Amino acid sequence: MDFKIRKAVPQDMPRVLELITELAVFEEEPDAVEITVSDLQTDGFGKHPAFNCFVADVDGQVEGIALFYGRYSTWKGKVLHLEDLIVSQKMRGSGLGTALLDEVVLYGNQLGVKRICWEVIDWNEPAIKFYEKKGADVKRDWDVVHLNEIGIRNYISKLEDARI
Amino acid sequence: MDFKIRKAVPQDMPRVLELITELAVFEEEPDAVEITVSDLQTDGFGKHPAFNCFVADVDGQVEGIALFYGRYSTWKGKVLHLEDLIVSQKMRGSGLGTALLDEVVLYGNQLGVKRICWEVIDWNEPAIKFYEKKGADVKRDWDVVHLNEIGIRNYISKLEDARI
């Protein structure tokens, strides 16, 4: 199989959104994806992109993506965050995930960051094994916390009530 | 007790680093803090700051911080990440944490983000209770993954070996 890893272009975003949605279905949150192709095209390109993206291009078809951006650690300074590493279901096990992660690590190394971080759902054992094999440390004692849209709205309305 | 929440200025960074270090000691990682005052002053201010910071100023002494920056969710678009919410040990329980979090949520709401996220260590029950009381969802099935500096170095050298 012949593939190349390249930087994403705006024209890739419809397929990128398909892969994002495929992963959300796998993670049992099919309705969580609110983003649109147009959001991805606006936010990821131009003068101050909110993310960078590599794609695995298999004979002109995108079969994997690595989407990442900078974060800031108060211990290590500027770090890189890998938001999504996705390979289409039919192409799992064909080396695309490794090739994409290689590019992200090379990129982070060029930037001189002291950490590349991401998140994993704890029942995705194949992913965890893959990451650990690559030398990453899965911190099972650190949990992710979300205040979602409804949570923000409720929070604000309680603040307003308290200020009346 | 009288306090105000205000935006941090570069002159606050020595005290901010003290609070960051205090939290690292509490989290049993006293040697993990590699950042310097100068890093914080360079990275947090100027034309393209890597983070924003609010401080809780108690009679001219900074006793709490909320340090945050933008992230990108492939489900929700632009989101806000709260990297650190710290109140000095002696001032815990005096309302500074709530006042700081209030400002961050107000800020996120003004930006129109659909999520404010952060991370918590799973044995910090007081923090978890505080967050849940505020309406946040502690996702115990999502773990944080780090490829640290040594991990990056090893990864790169294996890549180089494979390419010889």
Q: Is A116 in Cβ contact with B146 (below 8 Å)?
A: yes
pLDDT of residue A30: 87
Q: Which residues contact B73 (CB under 8 A, 6 or more apart)?
A: A35, A83, B79, B114, B115
The share of chain A scoring above pLDDT 70, in percent, equals: 99
pLDDT of residue A95: 95
- Closest residue on chain B to A119 (Cα): B144
- According to DSSP, the residues that pair with A79 across neighbouring strands are A71
Q: How many CA atoms lie within 13 A of A74 on its CB side?
A: 27
Mean predicted confidence (pLDDT) in A27-39: 94
A117 phi and psi angles, rounded to 5 deg = -125, 160
Architecture of domain B4-118: 3-Layer(aba) Sandwich (3.40)
pLDDT band at A164 (very low <50, low <70, confident <90, very high): low
Check whether B63 has a pLDDT greater than 90. Answer: yes
Mean predicted confidence (pLDDT) in A26-33: 91
Check whether B119 has a pLDDT greater than 70. Answer: yes
CA distance A44 to chain B (A): 10
Write out pLDDT tens, residues A130-153. 999 999 999 999 999 999 999 999
CA distance B75 to chain A (A): 4
What six digits make up the tokens of A158? Answer: 């309680």
Please provide the average confidence, as pLDDT, over all residues in chain A.
95
- Closest residue on chain A to B149 (Cα): A114
Q: Which residues contact A155 (CB under 8 A, 6 or more apart)?
A: A147, B105, B134, B135
Residues of A that are catalytic: 131
Torsion sign across C-alpha atoms A14, A19, A20, A25: positive
Q: Which residue of B144, B160, B161, B163 to mutate against A (max A Cβ within 10 Å)?
A: B144
* CA A12-B72-A127 angle, 5° bins: 75
pLDDT band at B72 (very low <50, low <70, confident <90, very high): very high
The alpha-carbon radius of gyration of chain B (Å, integer) is 18
pLDDT of residue A72: 98
Q: What per-residue string of b and e applies to A3-38 under the rule 16 or more CB within 10 Å gives b? A: bebeebeeebbebbbebbbbbbeeeeeeebbebeee
Residues of B that are catalytic: 131
pLDDT of residue B164: 65
CA distance A60 to chain B (A): 23
Q: What is the pTM of this model?
A: 0.94
Return the H-helix or E-strand segment holding B62: strand B61-73
Mean predicted confidence (pLDDT) in A31-51: 96
